[in-house]
C-alpha cells in the first residue's frame, strides 16, 4: 500500500473540532460520516460566542458531543482540528494543545484524507484570481480541476466523493497555512507578502512565515512559483533554491534568468520551465487589467504548463478569462463615468496595485471601512500620485483622509463620508466624464457590512440605481 493510501486510511482516534462556523460544521459532519473504526469520537467546542441552534442539534443527531459558549477544551483527544479564524496565540488554541496530541487545520485534514493532485496558492493579494485562473487553464487543457479553500468551498467538502484524477486548486490563507504539518502540493505558489493580518499573527515576520509554509513539504520533483515583487518573496525564493527545489520566479518587468522563470518580453507572456520556453499571448489580450493581473496570469500559466497543459491551451484559457466579482470588476458607466468594484481590496498594497490599472489623474477613489491599524503612508503617496479625488469613509475614514492630506491632497481632493452610500454620492458629485469611480477600500468591511461581498454588491446596486434614475453625472 502506498504512503498516500496509508495516510488516507489511518485511524484518527478521538477528535475534537474547534469552532462552529462553516468550517467547524463541515469538518464535524465529514468526521461523523467516516467508516466505523476510523474515528472513535467527535467532540465540538463552539467557542465563547457559540449557542445552541440548528447546527448543534444536527451534529448531535449525527453522534457528536457539542459544547457551546466556551473556549475551554476538556477531555483527552488524539487530534484537534481548528477553524481558521482562531488566532495562533489564543487561549482557545492553547487549551486545545493542552488536551490533544496534535492540532491541525481543515486543509491539513483534507490533504491527509486525500493526499494527491494538489495545487496550493497563497499571497497577500491575487490569490483568488490566480486560483480561478489556474483551474480555468487546467480545464482548458482537459484536466478535471476544482477550486477549494479560502475561495469559498472548504477543502474537506471536495474530498468527499472526489473522483479519480481531479486536481484540487486550493487558495490558502495565512490562517489556514499556520496549522499545516504534512500538506504537500504538487505545485505551490506564493504571489507576494505585504503587511496584513498582523493583529492575528502578532508580527509581520510570523505572517510571512505562515505564508512560506506552503513550500514546507515540496520535494525536488515539485514546482515552487514565487513572485518577485517584494523582498520577503525574494528571500523565500532563495531559501527554496537552497533546498534544491525547482523554483520559478515570476517577474513582469524583466527576465529573472535561470531555467525556471515567467516574465513579459516584448509585450508577450513567456514561461520557461526546465530551460524550455513557452510563448503565450500578448499582455494586452488579457481581459483582466493591471500589472498585478499579468503577474497572476504568469503564475497560473506556469503551474498549468508544469502539469501538462499546452502553451496553446494556456493562451486560449488566459484570453477567455473574465474579471471576477469584487476584484477590479467593471460594473457599468453612467454619463461617461466608469464604475469599478474592487471591494476585495482589503489592504493598502492591493489598492496600490489597482490604481495602476486606470489612467493617472482620472480616478475618484472610495477608501475606507474597518481600520486594521496598518501603515497608510505608502498608500497615501500612491493615492496622491494617481487619484484625482479620494472619498474616505467608515471607521478608517478620518485616518485615511489625514494620511492623504499629509501627502499634499487639499480639501478639494479629499472628501470624508460616514458610510459607503454617502461616499458613493460624494464620488458621483466629484466625477467628470472620462473618470473612473473605483471602490478599492484598503480596509476590511466589518464596520458596516457582513463581508466584502456585501459591500461590493451594495456598490453595484448603487451604480444600477444611478443608471436607472437617469440623473447621470454633472
Nearest to 415 by CA among 360, 359, 368: 368
The annotation status of 127 as a binding-site residue, yes or no, is yes
The annotation status of 219 as a binding-site residue, yes or no, is no
The sign of the dihedral angle between the CA atoms of 256, 261, 263, 268 is positive
The annotation status of 129 as a binding-site residue, yes or no, is yes
The annotation status of 411 as a binding-site residue, yes or no, is no
The sign of the dihedral angle between the CA atoms of 353, 132, 235, 263 is negative
Q: What does the alpha-carbon distance between residue 248 and residue 280 come to, in Å, rounded to a whole number?
A: 17
Contacts 24+ apart (CB under 8 A), 267-273: 269/294, 269/297, 269/298, 269/301, 269/318, 271/298, 271/301, 271/302, 271/305, 271/311, 273/223, 273/248, 273/302, 273/305, 273/306
Residue where the block lists cell 494527491: 116
The annotation status of 194 as a binding-site residue, yes or no, is no
- List Cα–Cα distances, 166 to 120, 134, 158, in angstroms: 14, 13, 10
Which DSSP symbol is given to 265?
E
Pairing of strands 268-273, 276-282: antiparallel
How much of the chain is helix, strand and coil, in % rounded to 5? 40, 25, 40
The annotation status of 353 as a binding-site residue, yes or no, is no
The sign of the dihedral angle between the CA atoms of 416, 421, 424, 429 is negative
The annotation status of 153 as a binding-site residue, yes or no, is no
CA 78 from centroid of its chain's CA atoms: 31
Q: Report the binding-site residues.
A: 123-129
Q: Report the binding-site residues for ATP.
A: 123-129
Amino acid at each position: 500500500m502506498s504512503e498516500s493510501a496509508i495516510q488516507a486510511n489511518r485511524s484518527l482516534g478521538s477528535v475534537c473540532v474547534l469552532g462552529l462556523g462553516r468550517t467547524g460544521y463541515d469538518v464535524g459532519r465529514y468526521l461523523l460520516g467516516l467508516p466505523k473504526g476510523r474515528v472513535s469520537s467527535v467532540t465540538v467546542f463552539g467557542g465563547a460566542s457559540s449557542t445552541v441552534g440548528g447546527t448543534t442539534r444536527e451534529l448531535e443527531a449525527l453522534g457528536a458531543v457539542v459544547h457551546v459558549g466556551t473556549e475551554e477544551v476538556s477531555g483527552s483527544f488524539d487530534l484537534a482540528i481548528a477553524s481558521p479564524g482562531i488566532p495562533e496565540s489564543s487561549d482557545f488554541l492553547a487549551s486545545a494543545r493542552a488536551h490533544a496530541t496534535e492540532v491541525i487545520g481543515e486543509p491539513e485534514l483534507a490533504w491527509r484524507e486525500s493526499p494527491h493532485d494538489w495545487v496550493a496558492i497563497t499571497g497577500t493579494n491575487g490569490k483568488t484570481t490566480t486560483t480561478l485562473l489556474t483551474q480555468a487553464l487546467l480545464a482548458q487543457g482537459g484536466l478535471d480541476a476544482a477550486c477549494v479553500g479560502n475561495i469559498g468551498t472548504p477543502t474537506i467538502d471536495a474530498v468527499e466523493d472526489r473522483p479519480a484524477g481531479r486536481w484540487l486548486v486550493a487558495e490558502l490563507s495565512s490562517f489556514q497555512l499556520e496549522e499545516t504539518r504534512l500538506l504537500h502540493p504538487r505545485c505551490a505558489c506564493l504571489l507576494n507578502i505585504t503587511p496584513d493580518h498582523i493583529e492575528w499573527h502578532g508580527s509581520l515576520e510570523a505572517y510571512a512565515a505562515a505564508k512560506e509554509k506552503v513550500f514546507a513539504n515540496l520535494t525536488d520533483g515539485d514546482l515552487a512559483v514565487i513572485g518577485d515583487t517584494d523582498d520577503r518573496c525574494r528571500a523565500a525564493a532563495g531559501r527554496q533554491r537552497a533546498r534544491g527545489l525547482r523554483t520559478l520566479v515570476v517577474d513582469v518587468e524583466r527576465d529573472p534568468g535561470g531555467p525556471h522563470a515567467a516574465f513579459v518580453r516584448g509585450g508577450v507572456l513567456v514561461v520557461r520551465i526546465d530551460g524550455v520556453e513557452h510563448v503565450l499571448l500578448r499582455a494586452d489580450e488579457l481581459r483582466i487589467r493591471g500589472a498585478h493581473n499579468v503577474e497572476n496570469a504568469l503564475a497560473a500559466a506556469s503551474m498549468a504548463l508544469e502539469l501538462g497543459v499546452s502553451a496553446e491551451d494556456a493562451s486560449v484559457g488566459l484570453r477567455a478569462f473574465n474579471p471576477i466579482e469584487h476584484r477590479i470588476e467593471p460594473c457599468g458607466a453612467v454619463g461617461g463615468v466608469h464604475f469599478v468594484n474592487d471591494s476585495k481590496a482589503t489592504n493598502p498594497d492591493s489598492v496600490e496595485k489597482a490604481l495602476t490599472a486606470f489612467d493617472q489623474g482620472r480616478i475618484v477613489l472610495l477608501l475606507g471601512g474597518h481600520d486594521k491599524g496598518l501603515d497608510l503612508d505608502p498608500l497615501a503617496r500612491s493615492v496622491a500620485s494617481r487619484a484625482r479625488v479620494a472619498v474616505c469613509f467608515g471607521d478608517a475614514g478620518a485616518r485615511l483622509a489625514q494620511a492623504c492630506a499629509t501627502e499634499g491632497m487639499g480639501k478639494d481632493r479629499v472628501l470624508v463620508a460616514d458610510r459607503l452610500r454617502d461616499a458613493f454620492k460624494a464620488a458621483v458629485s466629484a466625477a467628470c466624464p472620462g473618470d473612473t469611480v473605483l471602490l478599492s477600500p484598503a480596509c476590511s468591511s466589518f464596520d458596516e457590512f457582513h463581508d466584502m461581498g456585501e459591500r461590493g454588491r451594495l456598490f453595484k446596486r448603487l451604480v444600477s440605481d444611478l443608471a436607472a434614475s437617469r440623473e447621470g453625472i454633472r
